A and B are shown apart, each in its own frame.
Chain A
C-alpha cells in the first residue's frame, strides 16, 4: 500500500477524477471566473461537483438559458475573456441557440457546455435528448460531443483555444452523462494549436507595402473601423495610424468605443442610421481603408452604389471576409494589431484638413437638421436622444452602455459618449431583441469597476425580463433604463415610412414596470416630464445597487438620418420625405 501511495504523490501531473471534476478543473486551469448557467437532469453530475468549487468558480443562475448565453456574451465583450455557459440537454441546450448564433455573427468567444443523455441512449429519443451537435453546427465556430471522460481535458483545452484565437466565436461541447460520472487519470495542458487550424495568418509584407503606397498617395482617405480593432486590442495602434496619416475615421456599431468620441478624427457612425458625413463621403473618398469590419449590408446599403470610386484597402484576419461583399483592391490579411504596427512606420505623416472639413460641414448640417432637436427638443414629449445626453453628462462619457435592438439602440449608438474601449455592448449582426438585460448583467461581472447602463426598449426588455430575477439574486449593480414608447418603435417607423402607416402588430400594452421592479426588490423610478429627467438619471447613477428607470418617450418619434433599405449610402435622408 505504501508504495502505491508514494507513486500517486510522485505523479502530480495526473490524478484520478470523474469527468465532472475534470470539466471544472479545466475551467479553473483556463482562468474562468464566472459560469452563467441553468441546471437540469443531464448536467447534474457537473453541478454536483460545482458544489465543491464555490471559492474558485462563481456560478450565476440566470432565469433562462438564453439569458445565460447573453450574460456570457456581455461578460466576454466587457472583459475580453471567454464567456462560459452551462445548460442541460434537450430544451436547456436548444435555449442556448439564439445567444450562440448572436455570438457567432458578432465574433464573441464563448464556451458552452451542455449535458447530454448517456451515450448508450444517444439516438433513441430518450428523455430530454436532442441532437444539439447537429442543431448548433451552423452557428458555432466549433462543436464536439464527448462520450468518454478521457476526452474531456483535450477537448476543453481545444474549445478555449478555438473560442478565443483568431476571429473569436462560440464553441459548444456536449458531454454525455456517463462521461460526467466516469473516472479517469486527469491531467491538463492548454492547447497551443493543431494542424488544420491557422487562427492568425502570417502578415505578408508585400501587402503591407502595397497598402502603404496607396494610403500615402491618397488625397481623400477614409478609414472604417470595426470590432476587429477591439478584438485585436489594436486601439492604440489604430489611433497612432490615423493621427500620423491624418485620416477621418468612422465606425460600425461593433467598433463603437474603440476610438474615443471626442477625437478630432472621429467622424461618426456608419450605416443605416449612422451619421450624415461618413455615409455621404463614403461615395467621395479616394481610398477606403477598412480595418476589422465585414461590410455588413446595414453598413453598405446598395453594394452596386457603394464606394465605387474608391480604392479599397481591407485589413482583416478572416480570409473569407476579404472581397466577400466589397472588392478589396489591396487586401491585408492578418491581425489588425500586427498589420497596423507594420503599417505605422511605412505610412507618411500627412494633413487632410480640407477633406476633414467636408466631414465637418456635413456634421453641421446634420446637427442643425436632426441632432439639435433630438437633444434639445421643444415638444412636450421626451426624446430618446435627450435621455442619452443626460446619461453622458452624468457619467462623464465613461460608462459601459449595453443596448438591445431597435430605435433606442440606434439612438444610443449615435449619441452615447465614450472614453474607453470595450464600452459599447450591443447585438450587431443578429439583432437579437432581449440581448441587453442579461448582457448588462454579464458586462458588470466582466468589468466590476465600471458603471454599466442597460438601455432597452419596452419591447426588448420583455423578451428576457425574467433576468430581473438574476439581478435580484446576485444584487449585481446594473442600471436599467427602459425607453418606453409603447411601440415596437423601429418596426413602427418602417411601417410609417414604407407601409403607409399600417401599424400591424407593433403597438404594445405594457405591464407596470414599476410594480415589476418592486416585485424583484429593485429600486425604481418612472419619468415622463423633462424637468425631472436629469434628477432621475442622477438618482439612478448615485444609487448604490441595481436600479430601473422607465422613461416615457414620444410614441411616434423616428430615428434619422436614415439610409432607406436598398438605397445607396449617399442617398441618406435627414428627415421624413415630403411624400410620406
Chain B
C-alpha cells in the first residue's frame, strides 16, 4: 500500500468528475481527498486526488483515466515527489479568546484570523494534514463551532511533465498558455 497523489488534467466539461470518480469506484478505491481547480493552461481543469492503494493498481487506473477522451494527461506521485498543502477553516467562539488562550494557540500554529465578530471568529490554517490536525486538537477543548478543510493541493517537484506536454504542439495546434495568472 502506498499513499499516492493522482493529478488529472482534463477539458472543463460537465460530467468529467463523474467519469473520474467512476474509475475509482469501479475498482473499489477509496478517494481520501479531492480538489478541483483551474490550472495554468486555459480551459484545462486539474483534479488532485489522494488515495492509499497498491502502486500497480493505481498505475493501471491512471492509464485508463488518461485514455478518456477529454483527459489530457494523468499522473501519480509519491509523497516525496510533491509539495502539497491543505487549507482548513475553524469557527471558534470569540469568548474562547478571552476565557481561554485561543489567540496564543493560533499564533503558535502560524494560523491567522480571517474575521472576528462579536460571537465568533474564523481562523485559517494552511499546512500539512498533521499540522492542521495539531491545531484542531488544541482548539477542540476550547470549543470549535464549525470546521472545514480542503483536499490537498499539490505541485510536483521535478520539471513538471504536464508543462512540457503543453509546450508541445498537439495536432498542429499550439495550446495557448494562460498569462493572466
Q: Could you tell me which A residues sit within 8 Å of B by CB distance?
A: 133-134, 137-138, 141-143, 162, 192-198, 318-320, 324
Whether the pair B69, A142 counts as a contact (CB closer than 8 A) is: yes
Q: Name the A residues within 8 Å of B134 (CB-CB).
A: none
Q: Name the A residues within 8 Å of B15 (CB-CB).
A: 133-134, 137, 143
Contact status of A318 and B67, CB under 8 A, knowing A134-B18, A195-B72 = yes
User: In the complex the two chains form, what is the Cα distance from A194 to B67 in whole Å?
Assistant: 14
User: In the complex the two chains form, what is the Cα distance from A319 to B66 in whole Å?
Assistant: 9
User: In the complex the two chains form, what is the Cα distance from A320 to B71 in whole Å?
Assistant: 14
Q: Name the B residues within 8 Å of A162 (CB-CB).
A: 69
Whether the pair B69, A320 counts as a contact (CB closer than 8 A) is: no
Contact status of A196 and B71, CB under 8 A, knowing A320-B63, A320-B66 = yes
Q: How large is the interface on B (under 10, 10 to 19, 20 to 34, 35 or more residues)?
A: 20 to 34
User: In the complex the two chains form, what is the Cα distance from A225 to B63 in whole Å?
Assistant: 23
User: In the complex the two chains form, what is the Cα distance from A141 to B68 in whole Å?
Assistant: 7
Q: Which 6 A-B pairs have the closest CB atoms?
A: A320-B63, A193-B171, A142-B69, A196-B72, A320-B64, A320-B67
Whether the pair B72, A319 counts as a contact (CB closer than 8 A) is: no
User: In the complex the two chains form, what is the Cα distance from A187 to B178 in whole Å?
Assistant: 31
Q: Could you tell me which B residues sit within 8 Å of A by CB distance?
A: 10-11, 15, 18-19, 22, 26, 60, 63-64, 66-67, 69-72, 170-171, 173, 175
Whether the pair A137, B69 counts as a contact (CB closer than 8 A) is: no
Q: Pick from B22, B67, B170: contact of A319, CB below 8 A.
A: B67
Give me 10 other A-B pairs in contact (C-beta within 8 A), A196-B11, A196-B69 excluded: A134-B18, A138-B26, A143-B15, A194-B171, A195-B171, A195-B173, A196-B70, A196-B71, A196-B72, A197-B70
User: In the complex the two chains form, what is the Cα distance from A195 to B10 in whole Å?
Assistant: 10
Query: 25 pairs across A/B with beta carbons < 8 Å?
Result: A133-B15, A137-B15, A137-B18, A137-B22, A138-B22, A138-B26, A141-B69, A162-B69, A193-B171, A194-B171, A195-B171, A195-B173, A195-B175, A196-B10, A196-B11, A196-B72, A197-B69, A197-B70, A198-B170, A319-B63, A319-B67, A320-B60, A320-B63, A320-B67, A324-B60
Q: Name the A residues within 8 Å of B173 (CB-CB).
A: 195
Closest to B9 in A: A196
Closest to A167 in B: B67
Closest to B166 in A: A195
Q: Name the A residues within 8 Å of B63 (CB-CB).
A: 319-320, 324
Q: Name the B residues within 8 Å of A141 (CB-CB).
A: 69
Expressed in whole angstroms, the minimum distance between the Cβ of A552 and any Cβ of chain B is 43
Expressed in whole angstroms, the minimum distance between the Cβ of B36 and any Cβ of chain A is 16
Expressed in whole angstroms, the minimum distance between the Cβ of A403 and any Cβ of chain B is 29
Q: Name the B residues within 8 Å of A324 (CB-CB).
A: 60, 63
Expressed in whole angstroms, the minimum distance between the Cβ of B43 and any Cβ of chain A is 9
Q: Name the A residues within 8 Å of B22 (CB-CB).
A: 137-138
Closest to B14 in A: A145
Q: Name the B residues within 8 Å of A198 (CB-CB).
A: 170-171
Q: Name the A residues within 8 Å of B171 (CB-CB).
A: 192-195, 198
Residue from A133, A134, A195 whose CB has the most chain B CB atoms within 10 Å: A195
